[in-house]
Amino acid sequence: MIELAELIRDLRDELNEAMAAAPATGLRFEMGPVEVEVSVAVDKSVSGGGKVKFWVVEAGSDGKVARTSAHRVTMTLMPRLPGTDAVPYVSGLKATEEE
């Protein structure tokens, strides 16, 4: 299992990699909402200040999930470039002639 925060961090890295790898010319795609649906196990640990952790679990995972509280979480993420409200493009920033 991985933490939900780690999944989102890895997703961000993958999207950044896709933007960097896209060619500067040719067909470009505007990045729209990114929908993520995961099954999570909620675990509250007494040690460490009683922190709640959300762990992403695989479908049909082992019996540990049965002993914890499993939930389905759907998130819609709206990608934006740092410091702006600009919508990212998979090949970089929007060219001035694009609408």
The torsion angles phi and psi of 77, rounded to 5 degrees, stand at -100, 135
Q: What pLDDT does residue 66 have?
A: 47
Q: What is the pLDDT of residues 60-87, one digit of tens each?
A: 555 454 455 677 888 898 888 888 888 8
Pair 26, 91: CB distance under 8 Å: yes
Q: What pLDDT does residue 3 have?
A: 85
Stated pTM of the model: 0.64
Residue (of 26, 25, 22, 58) closest to 40 by Cα position: 58
Q: What is the pLDDT of residues 8-67, one digit of tens each?
A: 999 989 888 888 877 777 777 788 888 988 888 877 665 666 677 778 887 555 545 445
